[in-house]
Chains A and B, each alone.
Chain A
Amino acid sequence: MSNTDFVLAIEDLTVSFDGFKAIDALTLYVDRGELRVIIGPNGAGKTTLLDLICGKTKASAGSIKFKNQEMTRLAEHKIVRAGVGRKFQTPSIYENLSVFKNLEVSFPQGRSVLGALGFRCTDEVKERVQSVATEIGLADALDTEAGLLSHGQKQWLEIGMLLMQEPELLMLDEPIAGMSVRERELTADLLQRICKGRSVIVIEHDMDFVKRIAHKVTVMHQGKILAEGSMEKVQADPKVIDVYLGH
């Protein structure tokens, strides 16, 4: 495979579960600073694609290059350390810890066993926690136990935990599911702010939200890419209409 300028270059990626190809010879490129939205009907393989990129699922064939570095053979934590952050579909935060601790634990220092033993919460860490908390609108809730946050705030907190790591590629799986209209607007603003200086991949169903944030949209269907391009272009594509409106 050739080296590219893309942040993420996925080529001929395939994964099969007992013969069922959840992802089928998929090729996808993501630019630096791009906010890409992946849409598609249920079972299209969207979440599996994110699982493959972050190493949760191992590919059967093909290549995933992040900044020209092959990811398919790396352990999950090494992929994260290379600069890939992943948010899960349901908010995955440490409910028993305070918001501050949640963010602090995600600070990319003291990641080895001994490093964690010797880790000190320096002013640098505190500043970083403060600035991220401000970014995600939780600056006033630093001492709150994370389990007491509202659903939307939990989603933001998880995004904040990823921001602590300063990833160059951020992947969000349905970040606005279960959010109120107001929360959706705030999230859209947040995503537009955080995609400055990094690439973001978002899986989303809500078309209005997609329209609002996407630079480029990829439509997946049955493990393959059905269409790619601007929202207008994709929406006008007869294949896409066919898939979404049924046969």
Chain B
Amino acid sequence: MDAFKSWIARSGTGSILLLALLIVVVFPLTMDIFRLNLVGKYLTYAFVAVGLVMLWGYGGILSLGQGVFFGLGGYMMAMFLKLEASDPEATKIQSTPGIPDFMDWNQLTELPLWWEPFRHLPLALIAVVAVPMVLAFIISFAMFKRRVGGVYFAIITQAVALILTVLIIGQQGYTGGVNGITDLRTLLGWDIRDDSAKLILYFVNAGLLIGVIVLCRWIQMSKLGTLLLAMRDKEDRVRFSGYDVAMFKVFAFVLAAGISAIGGAMFTLQVGFMSPSFVGIVPSIEMVIFAAVGGRMSLVGAVYGALLVNFGKTYFSESAPDLWLFLMAALFIGVVLAFPNGLAGLYESHVKPWFARRKAPKAAPAAIEPPAAPPPAPSHKSAPPATLPGGVQGQSA
């Protein structure tokens, strides 16, 4: 029993269960379908943030192009849905019925060959994860084999995001251009705009997210997770211990890309469109801030980060849009200067010790206090202090 308990504590199962409880039980019980759908949308961003925890927090590789993979996944899904929505009957007013409306508007008279596979759901679903992962493999293999990392990798991924955005907007006959692929209706005849469909899609999304987090947690606890951390801090030592460092980085990047792509596909399904505004540099960097706010080392934190920042964004862009960008700016700067470990770091440094102190008097002799711990706080102190001492920066090592 004790072994089981310690395993739970070690693997973070408790926090994952808590998160699952929140998004699978609490949210659906307390929110109407409109708000739940909104949360569902935020949770699709959480996929990207979770991927970034693996890539950036664990692997030390910062990508500013995760929107590329999110967007690709979303576009693959949207292409399938668009073809289903463009059957000859529904599009009979077009000059060429049976092709997506934006193609018709751009004087295309037949479906481009590379759209053909997206007539079939299995092929489309494979493409959703396979295409982004293959692209990620090509980019990262070329870069990491040549020891390009850090800043340069970030700039290259940014360039890739720019390329894809310009390409999508420029080739509107094939991609829907700046408006994206819109007006998606059914999945194999099942109307995804329906409230009941939205509810089901929300649960599918939440389930997938939890699944992805469990998978990532398992990877973190394997030797591979240890190696990623080791590489981040002492790359040469890992290399000269006989590991092909490049391939481990490639793995992390491809994994993050695949996870982001799932999020993108779920975004399309729940929101009903996909556009280049989710591909470019700005959304890509915003997704990094979700992970940073949650805590770059914490999978669960990434989800809370995505939820919190997006709730904030929605709230402020309705009530005080001018303020929002300043808040965003403050978030970026604050999370870097003051809270490098984000919400998870705050929890570790404040909430947890506070709980420990509250428990401590009862189990005084048994509890092993670290020598540097402050004396037990008086019990009237009900909330953790909002400001942090400078010492927290030491954790970022």
Contact = CB atoms under 8 A, between A and B. Distances in A.
Interface of A: 54, 56, 75-77, 80-81, 85-86, 88, 92-97, 101, 104-106, 108, 110-113, 116-119, 158, 161, 165
Interface string B185-200: 0000000000000000
B236 interface: yes
Given A75-B244, A93-B237, A117 B397 contact: no
A95 B397 contact: yes
Contacts of B248: 113, 116
Nearest to A119: B223
A105 B227 contact: yes
Interface residues of B, number: 24
Q: Is the interface of B mostly helix, strand, loop or mixed?
A: helix
A77 B243 contact: yes
A97 B240 contact: no
Interface string B241-260: 11111011001000000000
B388 interface: no
A95 B244 contact: no
Contacts of A94: 229-230, 233-234, 237
B92 interface: no
Given A96-B233, A106-B241, 16 more contacts: A76-B239, A77-B243, A80-B239, A86-B240, A88-B236, A92-B236, A93-B237, A94-B234, A95-B233, A97-B226, A105-B238, A108-B242, A110-B223, A113-B248, A117-B222, A117-B224
Contact of A105 (B226, B239, B245, B251): B226
A27 B264 CA distance: 59
Contacts, number: 79
B222 A116 contact: yes
A54 B240 CA distance: 8
A96 to B, nearest CB: 6
Contacts of B244: 75, 77, 111-112
B22 interface: no
Contacts of A92: 234, 236-237
B233 A80 contact: no
Contacts of A81: 242
B223 A116 contact: yes
B219 interface: yes
21 contacts: A56-B236, A56-B240, A77-B244, A77-B245, A80-B241, A88-B240, A92-B237, A93-B237, A94-B229, A94-B237, A95-B233, A97-B226, A97-B230, A105-B230, A106-B241, A116-B223, A116-B248, A117-B224, A158-B237, A161-B237, A165-B241
A95 B240 CA distance: 17
Contacts of A158: 237
Nearest to B251: A113
A97 B244 CA distance: 20
B136 to A, nearest CB: 14
B243 A111 contact: yes
A112 B240 contact: no
Contacts of B223: 104-105, 110, 116-117, 119
A116 B237 contact: no
Give the 6 A-B CB pairs with smallest separation, nearest first. Answer: A80-B242, A119-B223, A116-B224, A92-B237, A116-B223, A94-B230
Interface in B65-85: none
A92 B233 CA distance: 10
Interface string B98-140: 0000000000000000000000000000000000000000000
A75 B230 CA distance: 20
Nearest to A115: B223
A54 B236 CA distance: 11
A234 B238 CA distance: 37
B100 to A, nearest CB: 39
Interface in B364-397: 397
Given A113-B251, A116-B248, A97 B229 contact: yes
A85 B222 CA distance: 24
Nearest to B145: A75
Nearest to B226: A105
A26 to B, nearest CB: 21
B392 to A, nearest CB: 16
B75 to A, nearest CB: 28
B15 to A, nearest CB: 20
